[in-house]
Every structure is written in C-alpha cells, then in structure tokens.
Amino acid sequence: MATPVNERMSDRQVARVEIQMWTLRQYARVTQRSPRTAEPIVIDLGVEAGLGGWAVRQVFKRAKLWGVDLHVPEGWAPAVNYDRMICGDALDVLRAEYDRADVIMAAELIEHFPQARGRELALEMARRSELAILTSPLGFMPQRAISGNPYQVHVSGWPPDAIEALGYDVVGIVPQYGVGVYAAGAWGGWPER
C-alpha cells in the first residue's frame, strides 16, 4: 500500500513511514495478530503530522489508536486518525495514563528531550509495550522552532549505538535522510534468508 505522499510530506517522512509500516507488519506476523481483526492498543507519542497514525491504520484497521502531542493546534486535521488525543508531555502522559499498550511509537520525538529524559522515554516505551518503535535523526541535527512551535527545537542527539544501548534493535537506517528506525520487543527481527 502506498504512503500518502503530498506536497507537505518530505521524502524523509515517506521513507520513515514505510519502515514503520514494515515493522508493524513484522509485529503482526510474530504475534500472529491478523491485521484485519486484531484490535491492538497503539500509542503514538509526538503525533505531529499524524503519519504514525496513518501507518497504524494501514496495518491494523481496528486498532485502538491514541495520540499524544505537546502542541495540538485547534482544528488539527490528522486527529481524525486517532480514537483519543491527549495534549501533554509524552513521557508524563505515558507514565500517568498508560500502564500497558501493545505498541508504543515515537517518531522523531526523542531528540526534543534532554539526553536523560530521552533515555527515560525510550526505556518507559519498551517497559510498557510489547513493541516500541523509535525513529530519530542519526546523531544531533540542529533544528529551531517550526511554524511557531517552540517544542520542535532539537536539544539532544541519538546516534544508533546510543539507542541500541537502551535495548533497541536497528530496524532501518535511511542515510540519505539522516534518520534511523529502531524497535524493542516483539518485532521479530530480520526474516531468515
């Protein structure tokens, strides 16, 4: 199934979403959950443009999908993909609202946290889910506020070995866009060749 490419999506976003979808399909295979009938609880932290929610809906049509973002503008269109939206700090909301989920995703979010708090986020995601999916720039990539959103500033960098040290596997690296995709838990690893 093709990713919904439009004028607002960068090639980097498209590549990241395609790897996320592949990882979700691996999870479905390993856990033997049917994409048609399974109703996993999926939490998307740092929703931004809603691409993670779109990817989940392509793999698990009946997922219970909850989104969390610190900056949710009024009339935000991607909210239609989510069964529940919470405006708040991802780590705080995760700790306060969710004991357990099947899948917890954070696409290009960890770099917006200071190093120690980002580490806590990654560990909490893995602890509270069967599958945790993280994406992040490959190391520190400077970024300022975008469209008046001060939470878009990058404050830490995460090379692949730093995320692997937290118990995550490298699922994919997209060097031309400087992004890595990582998973912890029941994603099944690479298929046998």
d(CA 188, CA 22): 11
**Residue pLDDT tens, the chain, 193 long:** 344 444 556 777 777 778 888 888 888 887 787 777 778 999 999 887 788 888 888 888 889 999 999 887 666 666 678 899 888 999 999 999 988 999 999 988 999 999 999 999 999 999 999 999 998 999 988 788 777 777 778 899 999 999 999 999 998 888 877 888 898 987 766 554 3
d(CA 71, CA 8): 18
d(CA 29, CA 23): 10
Which superfamily is assigned to 11-185 in CATH? Vaccinia Virus protein VP39 (3.40.50.150)
Domain definitions of the chain by residue range: 11-185
Q: Which amino acid is at 62?
A: R
pTM of the prediction?
A: 0.85
